Amino acid sequence: MTQMETDSPRRTGWGSGRRRGLVEGEAGMRRRETWRSRRPSVECLLERFLESESSLPATAMQQGKARVKGMVGELNRQYGELRAVVDTHKALRERVEEIMEKERAARSRSVAWMEAEAQVANLQNAPTYLQA
């Protein structure tokens, strides 16, 4: 049923040439095509994964699905809590920014008034500095 062939007739060692197993039937053809480049194809890996899952007992699969649903539910609950905290902090930040803007506007008027008075005082004292 199984026969080995090499790509090169001159090389006959185990490590020389690329060997392909020729097996009759569709499964053999698929295996030969899959492992030809010495890397498994995605389809082959998925088939193996699905075969290993289908070999599990039904109760184990149901328990696994229930555990995943429980974890997803817990993550959704935590996300909701974190989202509420973030929204609260955003609202607080916006309120603080509004208050700071009002303070900056009020302070800038008083600072501008004080700077104007300082400039007037400097202009009045300028002749004394020039004379000295």
Assigned token pair, 90? 């955003």
Is 124 found in the same domain as 71? yes
Q: Which domain holds residue 112?
A: 57-132
User: What total number of domains does the chain contain?
Assistant: 2
Is 65 found in the same domain as 35? no
- Write down the residue that tokens 């909701």 correspond to: 80
CA separation for the pair 100, 97 (Å, rounded): 5
Kindly state the average pLDDT of the residues 52-66: 70
Q: Which of 20, 49, 23 is nearest to 37 (CA)?
A: 20
Q: How far is residue 80 CA from its own chain's centroid?
A: 19
84 three-state secondary structure: helix
Structure confidence by residue, pLDDT tens digits, 64-94? 778 888 888 899 999 999 999 999 999 899 9
Look at residue 47 in the predicted model and tell me its pLDDT. 73
pLDDT tier for residue 128 given thresholds of 50, 70 and 90: low
Is 46 found in the same domain as 81? no
13 three-state secondary structure: coil
